[in-house]
Structure 1
Amino acid sequence: MSYKQQAAEKIAAAINQLGVADFPAEKVQAMLETPPNPQMGDIAFPCFQLAKALRKAPPAIAGELAPLLSGAPLREAAAVGPYVNLFLDQQQVAAEVITKVTKEKEAYGSRNLGQGRKVPIDLSSPNIAKPFSMGHLRSTVIGNAIANIMEKHGYQPVRINHIGDWGTQFGKLIVAYLKWGSEEKVKAEPIKELLRLYVQFHEEAEKDPALEDQGREWFKKLEDGDPQAQRLWQWFRDESLKEFTKIYELMGVSFDFVQGEAFYNDKMDRIVQLLEEKDLLTESEGAMVVQLDEFDLPPCLIKKSDGATLYATRDLAAALYRHEAFDFAKALYVVGNEQRLHFQQLFRVLQKMGFAWATEMYHIPFGMMLKDGKKMSTRKGKVVLLEEVFAQAIADVKKVIEEKNPQLVNKDEVARQVGVGAVIFHDLKNFRLNDVNFSWEEMLTFEGETGPYVQYTHARACSLLRKGNYQPAEAPFPAEAFDSKEAWAIITTLNNFPDVVDKAREQFDPSQIGKYVIDLAQQFNKFYANVRILADEPELKAARLQLVHAVVIVLKEGLRLLGLQAPEEM
């Protein structure tokens, strides 16, 4: 039981003593706050909601409540205006928190909420024959972090890469390749050459609109199984996946299920048939739609007037396939904010079809990756290629290592861990719905709120453990070991880690953990600067090194949940 839960139970019992019977501990815990200044206490309870029941002013209630609160883990309770401020017993809490973290290690903060049930997570999903740009980074890293967080709470994530491998753009690409392409060039640099052809098609189509018709014709051939169209499509797909795999390996991201839109081509007729059987299809201007008026949503388009199916049909087929294949507890779609309406319609259509499991499907939207404040565009060739960003980040970190620590044994591996980590962390420290502006300066500095700063703090703490010849030690620890405000700030933050992981899971928000590890790193560096950790007294040194070890464990685990590695030397 957390200290907040323990405090909430004591407060609920005291409120009952004052004559208010229907004020349970769960309600109290939801009201608890953290005082803005640590000197005012560790936990604060506002008394405003009790004023009506007790017919007294909140400050008077606080004055009556405070004397009723005592006993572990509390050291003191004080009325401050309308609040009761609670002070925890620092020596007891320090010993309990450090012992718990160092014994549980990476399992600290874990829960078995999911009981092994599967959670398919639709993430990354780049388009075949287009480059893996910074615009694709967000879905990949947000989805991967959410998968790690769900796994920590006992779910079995199924990472799905639903690649864009179907649609009119392939007809356009076939036209471009047949007109201006070269097999040698595509083999040499598949993504760059296919992108060049795709951009050239749109430039030429502005001068010759007939090219658009040719693109549609070739896609129709592809749909009809034309051997040449099929061969070129398969080749573009295979070459693209090889390139994507290199980037995923660099990022440490792997998938359990890699199937594109084409995989569902033979599964859409079943959806149309089910919709017809349930009498949900209506005709609108020659097209077939599902009406969603009762949800204040526009109709969901299932079939065009020419009989062609659409994204919605395909995603309905994919949803049904995933439920049958994985029997999921939840299904998550980490897809940009601009697709919000599509997913609202998708989930409502599934509910209208009578699938109760559709209520456990969630769209996890995110903002755009901007360059100089503007959206990136593949069609116009205005993209920042992720592979190039990683290469540059790794090279920049290697340069810093050569300057600062040329004797480092595994320079290349550390440069990769820090360079790639810098790019990932730059995204995940931001709340996912916010747009992120691509910035080298912000990303790669070893100071401030960055991945390299947190990784460097972890390496510094590991170095301290080596230097101090760290050995595990049992509590009780000397009272003066943690009597500084810097040590207490670390202990209360370590204690909060399970709550932070809870919140990150509930809100599908990895930035909760991003902000947390920055906070913990900053607090450790203050402790490092102001407290003599390697003290002359053996008991003090041993106790403080236990705290350093606890910081190492939680920083490493926090970074792991975000998809970053934690070098022990930098």
Structure 2
Amino acid sequence: MSTSTITELETLLAELGLKTPIPQFPAADVLRKPLDIARCYLADVFSEISESDVENAYHSINGPNNIPMGDLAVVLPKLVHGADANVLAFELMQKFPAESPLFLLPFPEGVHLLIMFRPQTLPRLFLPYINDRKESYGRDAVLGLLDPSSPDSGRKKLVIEFSSPNIASEFQGKHLRSTILGAFICNLYESMGWDVTKLNYLGDWGKPIGLLGVGWEKFGSEELFQADPAGHLLEINHKINDLFVPEQVASKKARDDKKDSAEIESQGLFAERNAFFKRMEEGDEAALAFWKRVRDNGIQNYTRFYNRLNVSFDEYSGESQVSPETMTEVEQILKSKDICEESGGAWIVDLKKHGGRAGVAIIRDRAGSTTYLLRDLAAVLERHKKYAFDSMIYVVASDHNTHFSRLFKILELMDMSDLANKLQHVSFNAASQLSEKVGHGEYTLDGILDKCQSAVEESLQGNPERATLLEVAKGTSDLGVAALLAQELSARRASDHGFDVSRMTSFEPGTGLDLQYWYARVCDSIKILSNGASSSDNDVAALEDEDEANLLRSLVQYPEVTHLAYKTLEPAGVMVYLFNITAQLCSYFEAGRDIPKSADLPLYEATRVVLESGLKLLGIKPLAG
């Protein structure tokens, strides 16, 4: 029986012995979140037996912290304010309907009353629910509607900026982490119905390009560039930066000693760098020709790498693409509102004078050149005009926290609070072992994926049975990417996490290869059973032992997991959830079910639906033998 509409769902619920229509609550979405069905009926029961407000009863019901201990948890102090939890728990247990077709009798744990689904009802309700929805299970397109009450209202627009390396220097670990996290957030918003535009905002302008230009004039070789463009530019970058570091140290020391650093920065490589960038801003043909070569080479190099990661962008933008007219517009607004002031030849915003905490922001330096902040302010205005976005997310490491605080505050000072409120900085820890490795030794832009792939091949050679199931010849490179993504997305954004290639490319629980193996094994079992077979109601009713019930109860939680990820933009919760599913599969098969039986088919199908959806959400290409 289908459960795709309210009418169909209520018909099934009535057959299971539940009263219909389903109790109504504004926060409930029974067609997309199966636990909301249970919340509605449970709130109706607890409102009656505790004599509390029905809405309050609904909002006192949480998901479980530990699925084997319960499917739902009622927070007793929230249900009845000021009540003694122990006394209230006893009273409610006494009054709870013993013959509920959906729930077993509740049991207390601290300030919670835990409730479990009745095993006989569990598969009859939730297996059809999951398998009817297939790839839409766990998604919620209503969240992306301009008007949730009107499907024809159009979709909300998200612009998301991520990866965004600086083309004048090497691709760093923080850029790789931004790429992986940003792609996940794109997938997440698209699964929730948003219209997503993916931007790679390259650091392709400014004084770092000026310094690289000086390096090219000193160390550049046309022959070496033609042989290895990216490698030669990186070599030049290292050489010129080695020469520049002592001058930077001297300038910083002067500032630390409360002295004027202007004299130091008016000579040497400081002066040469500033002069080259000034030539770029003034349209010097030779300087712009060099810049264009660097930019084109960078985009070509990065695009190839992103393709290996299965990541794509709708637009390669960059600081160079921001129009001078828009920057002038920003400056005029700042000056007309007395937000910007001159200081030592530079134009600054002293945010402390305007209630901010982010110190002094430089809009145009004393050489008259534009700054990254000015270009970013102008970029926001241009993007809003171009895309009319409802939200814009920057996925950038935490070392840019001050920059974004300044950006948002200055927009507010420009009387653009509505625009500033649409912006969000999703930060992450820039100091991880990944950041320490990328760009060094073997861990170059492509080298890190090559190393993952070769480690996967070694791992598969030691696991011939799993290698056969995964059809290695077709998917080794994808397995290497899966290993990397699973390790990075398992860590919370603020985490300073480890980076162990040998561990991430093993079949240990909690790795990308283990996820792919169990997905492939489920698909293989479905193939064995699917030769024209179909399950009957009696088959579904047989799914009642503990291992089967625990697996299905976990599958029911999937929409809760995706909705929480949508709120927090943390991928780690999705990874932990999927690892829990595979751990249950391992237990399930070890309990003697290595030979699938026909009654298992609906459960395998539901498991495949959830694993495949979760993998795709994380950017991991599901592989099956």
Give the alignment's TM-score, normalised by structure 2.
Answer: 0.82
What corresponds to 1:552 in structure 2? 608
Deviation at 1:158, TM superposition (A): 0.7
Which one is further off, 169-178 or 145-154? Answer: 169-178
Give the match for residue 16 of structure 2: none
Select 2:222's aligned residue among 170, 173, 183: 183
User: Which aligned pairs between 1:32-71 and structure 2 lie closer than 5 A?
Assistant: 32-34=62-64, 36=66, 38=68, 40-49=69-78, 52-53=81-82, 56-70=83-97, 71=100
Q: Which amino acid aligns with 1:489?
A: N
Asked if structure 1 preserves the Cα contact closer than 8 Å seen for 2:60 and 2:75, the reply is no
Aligned 8 A contact 1:472 1:546 in 2 = no
| Deviation for aligned residue 1:484 | 2.5
Residue identity opposite 2:231 in structure 1: K
In 2 relative to 1, CA 206–344 (structure 1 residues): closer, same or farther, beyond 3 Å? Answer: closer
Q: In structure 2, what is the equivalent of residue 137 of structure 1?
A: 176
Q: Does 1:353 align with 2:392?
A: no
Per-residue CA deviation, residues 275-303 of structure 1 (Å, 9 max, x unaligned), is: 23344323445433334342444243322
Q: 2:487–2:512: 8 Å Cα contact kept in structure 1?
A: yes
C-alpha change, 1:180 and 1:308, in structure 2 (3 Å) is: closer
- Residues 107 and 114 in structure 2, CA contact (< 8 A), matched pair in contact too: yes
Report SS of the residue matched to 1:158. strand
Greater Cα offset, 412-421 or 128-137: 128-137
Question: Is the Cα–Cα contact under 8 Å of residues 49 and 92 in structure 2 kept in the other structure?
Answer: no
Residue type at the aligned position of 1:120: V
8 Å CA contact 1:398, 1:412 repeated in 2: no
Question: In the aligned structure 1, how far is the partner of 2:578 from the partner of 2:295?
Answer: 39
Q: 1:253 aligns with which of 293, 296, 311?
A: 311
Bigger drift between 102-111 and 348-357 goes to: 348-357
Q: Distance in 2 between matches of 1:124 and 1:137?
A: 7
- State the Cα distance separating 1:421 from its structure 2 match: 1.3
The answer to whether 1:220 aligns with 2:278 is: yes
Q: What amino acid maps onto 1:370 in structure 2? A: S
> How much does 1:523 deviate?
1.1
Structure 1 residues 291, 91: CA separation in 2 closer, same or farther (over 3 Å shift)?
farther
Q: Residues 219 and 283 (structure 1 numbering): CA distance in 2 closer, same or farther, change over 3 Å?
A: closer
CA RMSD, Structure 1 to Structure 2 (Å)? 2.7
Deviation (angstroms), 1:193: 1.3
- Residue 320 of structure 2 is matched in structure 1 by 262
Moved more, 294-303 or 447-456: 294-303
Distance 1:160 1:480, change over 3 A: same
**What per-residue deviation string (whole Å, max 9, x for no partner) do you get for residues 111-155 of structure 1?**
121122210000000111433343321000100000000000000
1:76 paired residue number: 105
1:5 equivalent in alignment to 2:32: no
Q: 1:59 Cα shift?
A: 1.3
Residues 299-355 of structure 1: per-residue CA shift (max 9 Å, x gap): 433222333222211111111111111111211000001111211221122122222
Question: Retained in 2: the 8 A contact 1:458–1:556?
Answer: yes
Aligned match of 1:367: 429
Deviation digits for residues 433-480 of structure 1 (CA, Å, limit 9, x no counterpart):
112332212221111211111011111111222233455635524476
Check whether the contact 1:465–1:545 (CA below 8 A) recurs between aligned residues: yes
> What displacement does 1:377 show?
8.7
- Counterpart of 2:162 in structure 1 is 123
SS of aligned partner of 2:432? strand
Aligned length: 556
C-alpha contact 2:183 2:311 (8 A) present in aligned 1: yes
Give 1:430-449 correspondences, 5 Å limit.
Answer: 430-449=491-510
The yes-or-no answer on 1:450 pairing with 2:494 is no
Measure, in 1, the Cα distance between the counterparts of 2:79 and 2:602.
Answer: 42
Shift in alpha-carbon separation, 1:531–1:407, aligned structure 2, 3 A: closer
SS at match of 1:290: strand
Cα distance in 2, alignment partners of residues 282 and 15 from structure 1? 62
Q: Which amino acid aligns with 1:5?
A: D
State which drifts further: 476-485 or 151-160.
Answer: 476-485
* Alignment partners' CA distance in 2, 1:306 and 1:180: 26
Name the structure 1 match of 2:255.
none
* 1:313-328 matches, cutoff 5 A: 313-328=374-389
Report if aligned partners of 1:62, 1:80 keep a CA contact under 8 Å in 2: no
Task: Give yes or no for contact 2:399–2:430 (8 Å, CA) kept in 1.
Answer: no
The whole-number CA distance in structure 2 between the counterparts of 1:412 and 1:37 is 38
CA 377–458 in structure 1, closer or farther in 2 if over 3 Å, else same: closer
Query: Structure 1's 206 and 386: CA in aligned 2 closer, same or farther, altered over 3 A?
Result: closer
- Structure 1 window deviating more from structure 2 (270-279 vs 478-487): it is 478-487
| Structure 1 SS opposite 2:90 | helix
Greater CA drift, 421-430 or 138-147 = 421-430
Paired residues of 2:274 and 2:367 also in contact (CA < 8 A): no
Which residue number corresponds to residue 538 of structure 1?
Answer: none
Of residues 258-267 and 471-480 in structure 1, the stretch that sits farther from structure 2 once superposed is 471-480
Give ranges in structure 2 of 5+ residues lacking alignment: 1-29, 146-154, 248-266
Instruction: Specify which of 52, 55, 58 is matched with residue 20 of structure 1.
Output: 52
1:500 matched to which residue of 2?
A: 561
- Superposed, 1:112-511 pairs within 5 Å as 112=141, 113-115=143-145, 116-205=155-244, 210-266=268-324, 267-292=326-351, 293-355=354-416, 356-368=418-430, 370-371=432-433, 375=436, 384-401=443-460, 404=464, 411-469=472-530, 471=532, 473=534, 476-478=537-539, 481-511=542-572
TM-score by length of 1: 0.90
Deviation larger for 436-445 or 401-410: 401-410
DSSP-derived class of the 2:542 partner? helix
What secondary structure is seen at the aligned counterpart in 2 of 1:74? coil
Distance in structure 2 (CA, Å) of the matches to 1:408 and 1:558: 20
> Which amino acid is 1:44 matched to?
A
**Does the 8 A contact of 1:369 with 1:438 survive in 2?**
no
Letter in structure 1 aligned against 2:59 = K
Q: Say if 2:590 is the partner of 1:529.
A: yes
Note closer, same or farther for the CA distance 1:98–1:533 as it changes in structure 2 (3 Å cut).
farther
Task: Output the amino acid matched with 2:84.
Answer: A
Letter in 2 for 1:388: G
From the superposition, tell whether residues 367 and 33 of structure 1 become closer, same or farther in structure 2 (CA, over 3 Å). Answer: same
Instruction: Evaluate the alpha carbon distance shift between residue 72 and residue 533 of structure 1 in structure 2; reply closer, same or farther with a 3 A threshold.
Output: farther
Deviation at 1:525, TM superposition (A): 1.5
Shift of 1:232: 1.1
Following superposition, the deviation at residue 430 of structure 1 comes to: 0.7
Matches of 1:136 and 1:486, distance apart in 2:
42
Deviation at 1:263, TM superposition (A): 0.4
> How much has 1:162 moved relative to structure 2?
0.1
SS at match of 1:500: helix
- Alignment pair present for 1:567 and 2:599: no
Contact 2:107 2:113 in 1 (8 A): yes
CA distance in 2, matches of 1:82, 1:175: 67
Deviation (angstroms), 1:422: 0.8
Question: Residue type matched to 2:242 in 1?
Answer: E
CA distance in 1, matches of 2:436, 2:595: 51
Residues 95 and 475 in structure 1, CA contact (< 8 A), matched pair in contact too? no
C-alpha change, 1:377 and 1:542, in structure 2 (3 Å) is closer
1:150 is paired with a residue whose SS is helix
Please state whether the residue corresponding to 2:167 is helix, strand or coil: coil
CA distance in 2, matches of 1:500, 1:79: 24
> In 2 relative to 1, CA 81–382 (structure 1 residues): closer, same or farther, beyond 3 Å?
closer
Once structures 1 and 2 are overlaid, which stretch shifts more, 111-120 or 410-419?
410-419
Give the whole-Å Cα distance in 2 for the aligned partners of 1:82 and 1:229: 69
